[in-house]
Amino acid sequence: MLFNVLTAKSGTGNALKSGDRNATYRQTDDEHKRLLDITTLPNYSVVMAMPPGPQRDMAIRALNAEAQIREAEFAKYWNDQVPRRPIGQSSSWVGNVDYDPNTNTMNVDLGGKIYTYPNVTPDGLARFLNSGSLGTFLNNKKPYTGGGF
């Protein structure tokens, strides 16, 4: 998942931070399941009261599509390539952040060189992206040590 970071003048830190901060967080497994659960949709009981057959099957497919849309409109990401909402970040030193939630690995462009941070949890990534200064946050972390955040 690629988080774009704008390059700002030195000393501005994350002064240009804007956007939906919820988009920096990953859905929990429970949130993801709940969003896709058709039993939580308002028309579920009406559809299930229908007699079995092609109309009911079509209505169930419609409920599944509605749940998929609900999940896609949720600000928190799941296995997306880019954030679901704009996340304005700025830094004079930190560039784009590429995060793989499957391996909990974060690659960060620092002054034109890519550094890898292993064992970064989704919550740790969100803390980093929402920190007052991306550079100050990373200055306290060491790449390649395995001591994620």
Name the band, by pLDDT with cuts 50, 70 and 90, for residue 59.
Answer: very high
Residues 57, 61: Cα–Cα separation, whole Å: 6
Residue 149 has pLDDT above 90, yes or no: no
- Exposure of 110 in the CB half-sphere (CA atoms within 13 A): 16
Mean of the per-residue pLDDT values of the chain: 86
pTM of the predicted model over 0.75? no
Q: What is the DSSP letter of 132?
A: S
Q: What is the dihedral of CA 35, 130, 147, 135, to 10 degrees?
A: 150
Q: Which residue has the higher pLDDT, 6 or 55?
A: 55
Which residues lie below 8 Å from residue 136, measured CB to CB, with a gap of 6+? 13
The angle at the Cα of 66, spanning 64 to 68, to the nearest 5 degrees, equals 70
